[in-house]
Amino acid sequence: MVYKTVIVALTVLGLVGVFVYAAPIATKVSYDASAITTAREFTEQRSEEAAPTAPATPVPDTRPVVTHVPMPKAVKAIYMSSCVAGTPSFRADLVRLINETEINSVVIDIKDYSGTISFAPTDPAWQPAWDSARCGARDMKEFIKTLHDANIFVIGRMTVFQDPFEVERRPEWAVKKADGVTTWRDGKGLAFIDVAATGYWDHIIKLVVDSYNIGFDEINFDYVRYPSDGNMTDISFVLSNQSPYGRDKQANLEAFFKYLNEKIDDEKLFSAVKHINTGRASSTPYSTADLFGMTTTNYDDLSIGQVQERAVPYFDAVAPMVYPSHYPNSFLGLGNPNNYPYKVVHYAMSAGVRRLQASTTPMNGFLHTRIGTTTPAMYQKPVYGPDKLRTWIQDFDYGGDYDAADVRAQIQASYDAGVNSWMIWAPSNRYTQAALLPE
Helix (H) or strand (E) holding 20: helix 2-22
Say what angle helices 88-100 and 140-149 make with each other, to 10 degrees.
20
Residue 50: per-residue pLDDT: 55
Please give, one letter per residue, the 3-state secondary structure of 44-75.
HHHHHHHCCCCCCCCCCCCCCEEECCCCCCCC
Residue 312: count other Cβ atoms within 10 Å of its Cβ: 23
Rounded Cα–Cα distance for residues 336 and 325 (Å): 8
Q: What are the pLDDT digits (tens) for 176-220? A: 999 999 999 999 999 999 999 999 999 999 999 999 999 999 999
Domains in the chain, CATH or no CATH each? 2-46 (no CATH), 72-433 (3.20.20.80)
CA distance 285 to 288: 10
Q: Could you give the count of Cα atoms lying within 13 Å of 369 in the half-sphere of its Cβ? A: 3
* Predicted local confidence at residue 46, as pLDDT: 53
Closest to 217 measured CA to CA, from 277, 155, 165: 155
Coil, helix or strand for 242? Answer: helix
Dihedrals φ, ψ of 158, to 5°? -135, 110
Closest by CA position to 123, among listed 195, 218, 253, 214: 214
Note the pLDDT of residue 41: 52
| Amino acid (1-letter code) at residue 154 | V
CA 261 vs CA 4, 99, 153, 367: distances in Å: 84, 33, 21, 14
Query: Which residues in the chain land under pLDDT 70?
Result: 1-54
What pLDDT was estimated at residue 49? 54
Q: Are 268 and 284 in contact (CB under 8 A)?
A: no
**Distance, CA of 334 to chain centre:** 37
d(CA 224, CA 150): 31
Nearest Cα neighbor of 415 from 384, 381, 387, 374 is 387
Report pLDDT for 34.
47
Instruction: Determine the 3-state secondary structure of 248 from DSSP.
Output: coil
Q: What is the pTM of this model?
A: 0.87
CA atoms within 13 A on the CB side of 179: 4
d(CA 71, CA 286): 8
Which runs of consecutive H residues, i.e. helices, occur in 122-266? 127-131, 140-149, 164-169, 198-213, 238-242, 249-264
